[in-house]
Amino acid sequence: MKDKFESNTDLELVDLVKTGDRKAFSTLVRRHQKAALRLSLRFMKDLDAAEDVTQEAFIKAYERIASFEGRASFKSWLFQIAVNTAKNKLRERRDTSDIMDMQLGVSAVAEATLVHSSVANLLHKFVEELPPRQRTALVLRVYEDLSFKEIADIMECPYDTAKANYRHALMKLKTDLEEHQDLKKWSEEVGGFVMEMTRKVAEAES
């Protein structure tokens, strides 16, 4: 059955939800649930926990929909709720005092460029060692392909701060890759990724 709200924008759907139209919110859920689950998986240990975070984030979004003013996109607002929900759940479980202490996977770009699993594992380690806010910015930019405005909204910081955290994360990864002696035997793969990293740093600085 075709969704009658398929052609509506997120903001139009939010306005409908505010008038009491629950079906409009169901459309928002279908539209963003995969992205919200993917983001939650970046911060939680397993799929079940990520699904719980995603479900709770949507429930909170519905309950708080009247407070959504449209200054940011609905997706950014939802992501902010999801990140905060994940952080609270991790604290409740006492697994970590900071959401960014959880392990992160290698990005799609890295997986495509670094064909050797040992290199991918090492990059994984370098990402884990990034300062929390740098790692947050990197995840949202590289993994979720969000704009710096959206990242700033989610991180609740100025635009320039979000951009700086992302840039510093890229530069740190680039330096770590270039300096690691064990990577010399995979110079072609690493070289390709470093070139891609250099390009991204230049874009972040522009």
The reported pLDDT for the residue numbered 71 is 85
Of 133, 123, 102, 131, which is closest to residue 197 (Cα–Cα)? 123
Determine the average pLDDT of the residues in 115-120. 54
Helical packing angle, 47-63 and 22-43, nearest 10°: 140
Whether 86 shows a pLDDT value over 70: the answer reads yes
10-100: CATH topology is Rna Polymerase Sigma Factor; Chain: A (1.10.1740)
The reported pLDDT for the residue numbered 97 is 44
Written as one string, the DSSP assignment of 168-200 is HHHHHHHHHHHH-GGGGGGHHHHHHHHHHHHHH
Model confidence band, residue 117 (pLDDT cutoffs 50, 70, 90): low
The reported pLDDT for the residue numbered 113 is 45
Q: Which residues have CB under 8 Å from 15's CB, separation 6+?
A: none
Model confidence band, residue 110 (pLDDT cutoffs 50, 70, 90): very low
The span from the CA of 62 to the CA of 31, in Å, is: 14
103-205: CATH topology is Arc Repressor Mutant, subunit A (1.10.10)
Q: Against a cut of 0.85, is the pTM above it?
A: no
Whether 102 shows a pLDDT value over 60: the answer reads no
Helical packing angle, 10-18 and 74-93, nearest 10°: 70
Each residue of 1-59: pLDDT tens digit? 567 888 899 999 999 999 999 999 999 999 999 999 988 888 787 889 999 999 999 99
Domain boundaries defined on the chain: 10-100, 103-205
Model confidence band, residue 197 (pLDDT cutoffs 50, 70, 90): low
